Chains A and B, each alone.
Chain A
Amino acid sequence: MTRRIQQVVIVGADAPAWMAAAAFQRSVSAAGTRIRVIELPTLLHPADVYSAFPELAGFHHRIGLDEDLLFSRCKAVPVAGRRFSNWSGAGAPFIHGYDRSPPPAAGLGFTQLWIKGRQKGLRTDFENFSLASVAAKAGRVPSGTGDAELHAAFGYNLDARAYSALLRQFAKSGGVESKAATIAHVETEGDQIKAVILDDGERVEADLFVDASGPRGALIGRMPGADFESWRDWLPCDRMLVASAKGLKPLPAFSQISAFRHGWIGLFPLQDRTAVVAAYDGSETSDQALLADLPALANMPIGGDAVVSDLNQGIRRRAWVGNCVAIGESAFSLEPLDGAQLHIVHYCISQLMTLFPVKTGLFPEADLYDRILRRLGGNLRDFQLAHYKLNRRFDMPFWDGRRDASVPETLQRKLDVFTARGRVPLYDDETFQELDWESLFIGHGLMPQSYDPRVDAIPEQEHIAQVQARMNDIVGLVEGMAPVDDFIAGVNPRQAAEAKAVG
């Protein structure tokens, strides 16, 4: 007998588990499905940070979470993008900004104009034509630029534990039941989970189990066919360190990712501190040596809360097996180089919502979910991998090796077509859009050899005028944006008052 899904159990911890709980509570529970969270011990440390894309605002809007709480409770700092430095030897740093400009209807984007301009001697760097990048450099928060042609938004740096706590409180106040426990045993029959047995002996049954336990894959790891496929051959970092450093004043409007001899160091400004993340190749340097080098690499004193962990990048061969669905890092896992961690969780939740099983028993939705996640994962992996592939740090074995290594066909095609013509082939389930890839490629010094021939139909004077107009528009828009500290200060007092009123 099959029937509607009546009970969903989410097994996991931290933001992924509570994001899923809040989202399902807002949607399927209204259709009569019960949502329960088995809360595993946290994987977070005090120094941890979540660095999220602007789209997180959309998620908060859908679940009904007041954005102001991020600033008053989660030490949130709005950021316009990521600044990549030291990836290209003597080359200048660049910013990958959170631009959200829609591609032009005729398919002839500004990038093509810029490529021709560059060939004709234009000196201005590509990032100066990105609204988000210019805002980031000016320390301003892109907000309220609803203009159709030029639009940018801000992402968030969030204190990971505070954000998880906020979501937990939000989900529970919305009626999600939960229990803190560890798993003693998982009872399976074929590819179905019959029950999860907790450490106190409770036997938890459900029609659908959602694994939001992070890289440990508490449930999915026990399912047939869901073994882990490592991306280590492509992405070399296998150790990750997080720590805190003092806060920055004034707050910058970007996070910084700097390459160093054995990997990269990320600095993520928060309101009261700077989260420091290092990802590196453990066979190149020891944890102790890295920690000793860190203050010099980060150019600031490092606090005593440093924690090191393994970094296993890769993807499960299947993310939905029987009645068990993995979301976020339980499904696939990437270093936080481009800040996709919460995005992956969000995307998985959206897909699971769209593909929410109509009844118990067989789940033909699983195959599509798996295919979507493999595409999403592959595209994200390619984006991150491009940083390594395009590095220009010479005479360092780690970096020379990355530059010489072959990359997946999907990325090679992007590199080839971009090099040839300045266009980026996009596939299904791409997180990053054309402008993102373009700023990545150009930022790392990859210059197209030719441009779209339609550009030559634009008379030279008009071409120059368009390029100039875009710069002027951006400067004008950025002038109207608030500096980060003002932006946060503007949010805080109102929020404090409201929080008090709610009690």
Chain B
Amino acid sequence: MSEPLDIVILGGGTAGWMAATALTSLIPPTRCRVRLIESEEIGIVGVGEATFPEIRNFNDAIGIDEAEMMRATKAAFKLGIQFVDWGFKGSRYIHPFGVHGPVGMDHIFHHRWLRARGLGSKRDIQDYSFAAQAARDCRFDLPETRGTDIESAYTYAYHFDAGLYAAYLRDLAERRGVVRTEGKVLNVVQDPETGDIRSLVLESGETISGDLFIDCSGFRSLLLGKTLGVGWEDWSKWLPCDRAFAVPSERDELSPYTRSTAMEAGWRWRIPLQHRTGNGYVFSTSFINEDEAAASLMRGLEAKALADPRMLKFQAGRRLVNWEKNCVAVGLAGGFLEPLESTSIYLIQAAIMQLVPLLPGKIVDPRLRDEFNRLIDLQYERIRDFLILHYKLNRRDDAEIWRYAAAMEVPDSLTRKIELFRHSAIIERYRDGLFPPTSWLSVFIGQGLIPESYSPLADTIPGESLIFHLDAFHADLLDRVGEMRRHDRLINLYCGAELSGAPTATEMRP
């Protein structure tokens, strides 16, 4: 048996500890040894307190108990994202984690809805989404995982304290064998011939060598960007926001959704946790100065601030490749997309879960590297297009940023999608990457793009019959939502931070 692969992770934080935990949990010590270097002096960005449902696959894969994790991170459930004032001032819609209409009908349901609308039905498409309806009513129960029942029509994610999540994972990772070293990197030693990274020299004088280096150093991209010189692809012409202020406030309504409100120069988030509410303002300095943005954020708080606002600087884009030589970037070291759809932690997870099966040997096999880079590119580009859609598809005339966004040229891949939906309500599917058709649908419709026509296949049943079925489905949906528990009560019961030995998921099912 050959020697195990020595993996060195540079940087703690969410990316570093997710990578460390996954590698050490999924791959046996005979195959890899994991070390992590972090410095307590360097703060972590702690991106994204809101997550995407895929996080549950990650947690399941590495063997995390949900209730325990939620207690430790003061987490709450999340059924979707509410967008306020996006398409036009006064608009409001939820991008739900689940289908619109009955399970298994998503290829035709919105066409039928469009037809019903033409017949005079006033209901919004979200009224047919179980997740959206439950979110609006602040209700939550764990979904059934089998069958095509209405209860399997949705999934969920979490709001949690990303710093606590990293700490929770750190504890797990260290217990599973990850060696943590406190310290700052002074120097990176490269192989003079191949350029591969050989070791990191710390301020303490200690030298840590390895076979594979995982760059979780955040925006600094110390290894991939700075040492290996991998270039940056700038996407700020499409996603112009370049700063964010973040501030916590006292806990108020524990709504099971993230709220994103379009503002004068960007958008603000509201993320309810068990012990506080996370708030932030993502903005573009091309359209507002920092002081005004901070003031705007503080003015809009719905509860008392618990700290002063903290600022982050960034640019939308990604490194030209995320794996170069023997260095793989995970998280912000590889790219940044604003947290409009809560994808930051998802991108960390995607990089890790694609690295694990493609983990190289002591010498990097370029075939594995290229495949990893191809998959990561797909992830970034699909999220990018979906985010741009939110900006492009607005009819606000009250602020410069919205006029700019509505007029800007967008990638061809996106233009095609918008135009096809406008013409005939068709949504293209793809295999890899986030956002199923139901997600695209919710943003298209939610931001006011009502197609000019719908599929003739929706015309195959008589109008009265269509309306009857929609009414019946909606009534059933309301009944079922009414039977769900209030989200805040469920949280207390299931994973209240002060509780211990809470019931298991199975016991929680009504």
Q: What residues of chain A have their CB less than 8 Å away from a CB belonging to chain B? A: 4-5, 27-28, 30-33, 105-108, 353-359, 362, 364-365, 367-368, 413, 416-417, 419-421, 423, 425-428, 430, 450, 452-454, 456-457
A426–B353 Cα distance when bound, in Å, is: 16
In the complex, are the beta carbons of A356 and B456 less than 8 A apart? yes
Q: Contacts A27-B460, A354-B426, A417-B367; is A453 near B454 (CB within 8 Å)?
A: no
In the complex, are the beta carbons of A364 and B31 less than 8 A apart? no
In the complex, are the beta carbons of A454 and B460 less than 8 A apart? no
In the complex, are the beta carbons of B426 and A32 less than 8 A apart? no
Within 8 A of A (CB), among B450-479: 452-461
In the complex, are the beta carbons of A31 and B460 less than 8 A apart? yes
In the complex, are the beta carbons of A358 and B27 less than 8 A apart? no
In the complex, are the beta carbons of B459 and A31 less than 8 A apart? yes
- Whose C-beta in chain A lies nearest to the C-beta of B361? A450
Given contacts A416-B367, A428-B430, 11 further A-B contacts (CB under 8 A): A30-B461, A106-B61, A107-B353, A367-B416, A419-B367, A420-B367, A421-B367, A421-B368, A427-B431, A453-B26, A456-B27
In the complex, are the beta carbons of B456 and A31 less than 8 A apart? yes
Chain B nearest Cβ from A207, distance in angstroms: 11
A108–B430 Cα distance when bound, in Å, is: 22
Q: Which of B371, B416, B431, B452 contacts A413 (CB 8 A)?
A: B371
Chain A nearest Cβ from B418, distance in angstroms: 11
Enumerate chain A residues within 8 angstroms of B361, measured Cβ to Cβ: 450
Enumerate chain A residues within 8 angstroms of B459, measured Cβ to Cβ: 30-32
Chain B nearest Cβ from A493, distance in angstroms: 36
In the complex, are the beta carbons of B365 and A358 less than 8 A apart? no
Chain A nearest Cβ from B114, distance in angstroms: 10
Q: Contacts A354-B426, A368-B420, A457-B27; is A30 near B357 (CB within 8 Å)?
A: no
Tell me how many residue pairs across A and B have CB atoms closer than 8 Å: 109
- Whose C-beta in chain A lies nearest to the C-beta of B457? A27
Q: Which of A32, A357, A420, A453 contacts B32 (CB 8 A)?
A: A453
Task: Decide yes or no whether B356 CB sits under 8 A from chain A.
Answer: yes
A456–B28 Cα distance when bound, in Å, is: 6
Enumerate chain B residues within 8 angstroms of A428, measured Cβ to Cβ: 429-431
Enumerate chain B residues within 8 angstroms of A354, measured Cβ to Cβ: 107, 426, 455
Q: Can you give 7 A-B contacts (C-beta < 8 A)?
A: A30-B459, A31-B457, A31-B460, A33-B456, A364-B424, A423-B371, A453-B28
- Whose C-beta in chain A lies nearest to the C-beta of B425? A358
In the complex, are the beta carbons of A107 and B460 less than 8 A apart? no
In the complex, are the beta carbons of A358 and B420 less than 8 A apart? no
Task: Decide yes or no whether B374 CB sits under 8 A from chain A.
Answer: yes
A428–B357 Cα distance when bound, in Å, is: 21
In the complex, are the beta carbons of B31 and A453 less than 8 A apart? yes
A357–B456 Cα distance when bound, in Å, is: 8
List of 6 A-B pairs having minimum Cβ-Cβ separation, nearest first: A31-B459, A358-B453, A30-B460, A416-B367, A420-B367, A358-B424
A4–B454 Cα distance when bound, in Å, is: 10
Chain B nearest Cβ from A248, distance in angstroms: 40
In the complex, are the beta carbons of A5 and B356 less than 8 A apart? no
Within 8 A of A (CB), among B409-427: 416, 419-420, 423-426
Chain A nearest Cβ from B434, distance in angstroms: 15
A31–B455 Cα distance when bound, in Å, is: 10
Enumerate chain A residues within 8 angstroms of B461, measured Cβ to Cβ: 30
A279–B277 Cα distance when bound, in Å, is: 69
A263–B235 Cα distance when bound, in Å, is: 51
A358–B456 Cα distance when bound, in Å, is: 6
Q: Which of A4, A105, A367, A425 contacts B456 (CB 8 A)?
A: A4
In the complex, are the beta carbons of B457 and A421 less than 8 A apart? no
Q: Contacts A368-B428, A428-B430; is A358 near B455 (CB within 8 Å)?
A: yes
Enumerate chain B residues within 8 angstroms of A107, measured Cβ to Cβ: 353, 357
Task: Decide yes or no whether B254 CB sits under 8 A from chain A.
Answer: no
A421–B366 Cα distance when bound, in Å, is: 12
Task: Decide yes or no whether B358 CB sits under 8 A from chain A.
Answer: yes
In the complex, are the beta carbons of A452 and B455 less than 8 A apart? no
A60–B424 Cα distance when bound, in Å, is: 28
In the complex, are the beta carbons of A426 and B456 less than 8 A apart? no
In the complex, are the beta carbons of A365 and B357 less than 8 A apart? no
Task: Decide yes or no whether B393 CB sits under 8 A from chain A.
Answer: no
- Whose C-beta in chain A lies nearest to the C-beta of B32? A453
A420–B371 Cα distance when bound, in Å, is: 11
- Whose C-beta in chain B lies nearest to the C-beta of A459? B28
- Whose C-beta in chain B lies nearest to the C-beta of A28? B456
Q: Contacts A421-B358, A425-B371; is A5 near B28 (CB within 8 Å)?
A: no
Enumerate chain A residues within 8 angstroms of B32, measured Cβ to Cβ: 453
A452–B368 Cα distance when bound, in Å, is: 11
Task: Decide yes or no whether B30 CB sits under 8 A from chain A.
Answer: yes
Bitwise, B20-42 to A at CB < 8 A (1) or not (0) is 00000011101110000000000
In the complex, are the beta carbons of A358 and B454 less than 8 A apart? yes
Chain B nearest Cβ from A5, distance in angstroms: 7
Chain A nearest Cβ from B376, distance in angstroms: 13
In the complex, are the beta carbons of B367 and A364 less than 8 A apart? no
A354–B426 Cα distance when bound, in Å, is: 8
Task: Decide yes or no whether B138 CB sits under 8 A from chain A.
Answer: no
Enumerate chain B residues within 8 angstroms of A108, measured Cβ to Cβ: 357
In the complex, are the beta carbons of B357 and A454 less than 8 A apart? yes
Within 8 A of A (CB), among B336-373: 353, 356-359, 361, 365, 367-368, 370-371
A368–B379 Cα distance when bound, in Å, is: 21
Q: Contacts A4-B456, A358-B455; is A365 near B367 (CB within 8 Å)?
A: no
Within 8 A of A (CB), among B371-394: 371, 374-375
Chain A nearest Cβ from B75, distance in angstroms: 23
Enumerate chain B residues within 8 angstroms of A5, measured Cβ to Cβ: 456
Chain A nearest Cβ from B419, distance in angstroms: 6
Enumerate chain B residues within 8 angstroms of A357, measured Cβ to Cβ: 424
A423–B26 Cα distance when bound, in Å, is: 18
Enumerate chain B residues within 8 angstroms of A105, measured Cβ to Cβ: 57
In the complex, are the beta carbons of A356 and B371 less than 8 A apart? no
- Whose C-beta in chain B lies nearest to the C-beta of A4? B456
Q: Which of A356, A416, A430 contacts B455 (CB 8 A)?
A: A356
A106–B353 Cα distance when bound, in Å, is: 10
Enumerate chain A residues within 8 angstroms of B429, measured Cβ to Cβ: 428
In the complex, are the beta carbons of B358 and A454 less than 8 A apart? no
Enumerate chain B residues within 8 angstroms of A419, measured Cβ to Cβ: 367
In the complex, are the beta carbons of B357 and A421 less than 8 A apart? yes
In the complex, are the beta carbons of A452 and B454 less than 8 A apart? no
Enumerate chain B residues within 8 angstroms of A31, measured Cβ to Cβ: 456-460
A105–B353 Cα distance when bound, in Å, is: 13
Chain B nearest Cβ from A429, distance in angstroms: 8
Q: Which of A28, A33, A364, A450 contacts B419 (CB 8 A)?
A: A364
Chain B nearest Cβ from A139, distance in angstroms: 36
Enumerate chain B residues within 8 angstroms of A413, measured Cβ to Cβ: 370-371, 374
In the complex, are the beta carbons of A426 and B431 less than 8 A apart? yes
In the complex, are the beta carbons of A423 and B28 less than 8 A apart? no
- Whose C-beta in chain B lies nearest to the C-beta of A32? B459
In the complex, are the beta carbons of B457 and A28 less than 8 A apart? yes
Enumerate chain A residues within 8 angstroms of B356, measured Cβ to Cβ: 452-454
Q: Contacts A107-B357, A423-B357; is A456 near B420 (CB within 8 Å)?
A: no
Chain B nearest Cβ from A102, distance in angstroms: 14
Enumerate chain B residues within 8 angstroms of A423, measured Cβ to Cβ: 357-358, 371
In the complex, are the beta carbons of B28 and A457 less than 8 A apart? yes
A457–B356 Cα distance when bound, in Å, is: 12
- Whose C-beta in chain B lies nearest to the C-beta of A364? B423
Enumerate chain A residues within 8 angstroms of B419, measured Cβ to Cβ: 364
In the complex, are the beta carbons of B28 and A355 less than 8 A apart? no
Enumerate chain A residues within 8 angstroms of B26, measured Cβ to Cβ: 453-454, 457
A362–B61 Cα distance when bound, in Å, is: 48
Chain A nearest Cβ from B329, distance in angstroms: 20
A450–B364 Cα distance when bound, in Å, is: 13
Q: Contacts A365-B420, A417-B371, A420-B367; is A359 near B431 (CB within 8 Å)?
A: no
Enumerate chain B residues within 8 angstroms of A368, measured Cβ to Cβ: 416, 420, 426, 428
Enumerate chain A residues within 8 angstroms of B27, measured Cβ to Cβ: 453-454, 456-457
Q: Which of A4, A355, A452 contacts B357 (CB 8 A)?
A: A452
Q: Contacts A417-B371, A421-B357, A453-B356; is A365 near B426 (CB within 8 Å)?
A: yes
Enumerate chain B residues within 8 angstroms of A450, measured Cβ to Cβ: 361
